[in-house]
Amino acid sequence: MEIIKDLGRLKEVVGQVRAAGQTIGLVPTMGYLHQGHLTLMREARKRCDLVVVSIFVNPLQFGVGEDFEEYPRDLTRDAELAGGVPVDIIFAPPVAALYPKGYNTFVEVEGITESLCGCSRPGHFRGVTTVVNKLFNLVEPHVAYFGQKDAQQVVVIKRMVEDLNMNLEIVTVPIVREADGLAMSSRNVYLSPEEREAALVLSRSLTTAGELIDRGERDARKVRETMVAMIEGEPLATIDYVEIVDLANLQPIDRLTGPVLIALAVRIGKTRLLDNKMVGVNNV
């Protein structure tokens, strides 16, 4: 496994692999790897000749007052974990290599970036689509892997790939959870033991929503209100959003008649956590 920080060296490797007719898989991450990330890498390993993992805490997708500075970073630990998959390349460029002085170009997907996380984190998806676009141009992957953990991000990236006629496949990997249900996240490291326990309210509320729907509830407002009451019952939790949305346009729905995404962002103490569940509902 090679750790590459230099764009020229990356282009060289990618050029050789492409010239040899081999396939390239890319797993974009912000590092501080966990089993969620490693699952994406293992999927890439199954299909691709060259597996590239990018590790880049992208300043462009963090808002003012968010945790860009504090975000956990440990390249030595990450290299050990990725090496175990194994992956071929860790691409970990410095910020100035991706955004040199004079950088002035951004990629923006409209509409679907305005709901859910787009409301509470204005500019976030513009940062994500810009950096992902740059990574696609640099790594030239045939396939790129994204986690369902960031459900809106998947919808946005797929939209960008389709709208800009990008020549690659996007593969989505299901959410990887801790044994007690908490969705794995690099940000879980911020949680105190008490907050770690409180954070279970996210996955529990999604399970309850699923059970209500299984039992025949089709009123999205009632499902949402049950979830909100559960989360509000947890003293350390503050809701950012709890929404039941159409999978295609990410707009809130009233009646559950087809496949929906139940998505939530909740602050546990100061840590903002995401979770979601996709539910296929038959017409009633």
- Name the region of 102 (left: φ>0; alpha: ψ -120 to 50; beta: rest): left
The least CB distance from residue 3 to ligand AMP, in Å, is 17
Q: Decide if 37 is catalytic.
A: yes
**Residue 29 binds to ligand AMP (criterion: CB under 6 A):** yes
* Stretch of 6-14, 43-51, 77-85, 183-191 lying at the interface with ligand AMP (CB under 6 A): 183-191
Q: Which of 78, 88, 150, 275 binds ligand AMP (CB under 6 A)?
A: 150
The two most distant CA atoms of the chain are separated, in Å, by 58
Q: Which residues share a beta bridge with 89?
A: 2, 52
Report the 3 state secondary structure along 202-240: HHHHHHHHHHHHHCCCCEHHHHHHHHHHHHHCCCCEEEE
CA–CA dist 107, 55 (Å, integer): 20
Instruction: Decide: is 98 part of the binding site for ligand AMP (CB under 6 A).
Output: no
The interface region with ligand AMP, picked from 3-11, 44-52, 142-150, 208-216 by CB under 6 A, is 142-150
Assigned token pair, 7? 């764009």
Q: How far is the CB of 135 from ligand AMP (least distance, A)?
A: 11
Q: Which is nearer to ligand AMP, 82 or 184 (CB)?
A: 184
Question: Which stretch, 95-103, 108-116, 141-149, 252-260, contacts ligand AMP (CB under 6 A)?
Answer: 141-149
| Residue 90 structure tokens | 């860790």
SS3 213: helix
Write out the residues near ligand AMP by the rule CB under 6 A. Answer: 29-30, 36-37, 40, 146-147, 149-150, 173, 175-176, 183-186
